[in-house]
């Protein structure tokens, strides 16, 4: 079935889709010990292992200042701990504690349910969409870098 072109930009469609995904995850995880955003941050540490706050921010796609809020909260809750970074004495590696791993696993049940329903409703291959999203993420990073460079030159 062909779709009529809306006249709205690709960025607008991405924004609107992001809002729908936020609604899905917020609904599914309403009774979860972690919010969807927290679950995303914890998932990097759970699945990929220790990260510096800067590396964690880069992986999740958040500004470092936003990530510092999550890091502080995780440490205050007893869900994460700092370890010295061998290569850089100014930074630290963040790891999940047993309590953090438990919270992640508990939140994961709700996330998996939402993900299962979401992927079942897809009308195209999941691998294709993952590739397209990776391209879109790189394009967003490149455009943001270009804007930053141009604003520095203008200022």
Portion of the chain with pLDDT greater than 70, in percent: 97
Query: Which residue carries 């998996």 as its tokens?
Result: 112
- What's the angle, vertex CA 80, arms to CA 34 and CA 104, rounded to 5? 35
Question: What is the model's pLDDT at position 151?
Answer: 83
Residues 6+ apart with CB under 8 A from 127: none
Residue 115: phi and psi, rounded to 5, are: -65, -40
pLDDT digits (tens, 9 = 90+) for 113-133: 999 999 999 999 999 999 999
- On whether the CB atoms of residues 103 and 30 are closer than 8 A, the answer is no
pLDDT digits (tens, 9 = 90+) for 23-62: 999 999 999 999 999 999 999 999 999 999 999 999 999 9
pLDDT, position 3: 57
* Count of C-beta atoms within a 10 Å radius of residue 30: 9
Among 143, 155, 146, 52, smallest CA distance to 95 is for 52
Question: What torsion do the CA atoms of 29, 30, 34, 36 make, to the nearest 10 degrees?
Answer: 50
pTM of the model as a whole: 0.85
Give pLDDT, residue 10: 93
């Amino acid at each position: 079935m062909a779709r009529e072109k809306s006249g709205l930009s690709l960025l607008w469609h991405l924004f609107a889709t992001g809002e729908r995904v936020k609604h899905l995850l917020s609904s599914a995880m309403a009774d979860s010990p972690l919010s969807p955003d927290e679950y995303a941050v914890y998932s990097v540490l759970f699945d990929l292992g220790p990260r510096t706050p800067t590396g964690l921010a880069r992986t999740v796609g958040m500004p470092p200042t936003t990530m510092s809020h999550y890091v502080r909260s995780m440490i205050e809750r007893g869900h994460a701990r700092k370890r010295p970074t061998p290569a850089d004495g100014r930074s630290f590696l963040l790891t999940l504690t047993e309590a953090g791993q438990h919270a992640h696993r508990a939140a994961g049940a709700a996330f998996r349910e939402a993900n299962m329903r979401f992927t079942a409703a897809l009308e195209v291959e999941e691998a294709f969409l993952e590739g397209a999203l990776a391209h879109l993420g790189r394009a967003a990073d490149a455009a943001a870098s270009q804007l930053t460079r141009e604003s520095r030159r203008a200022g």
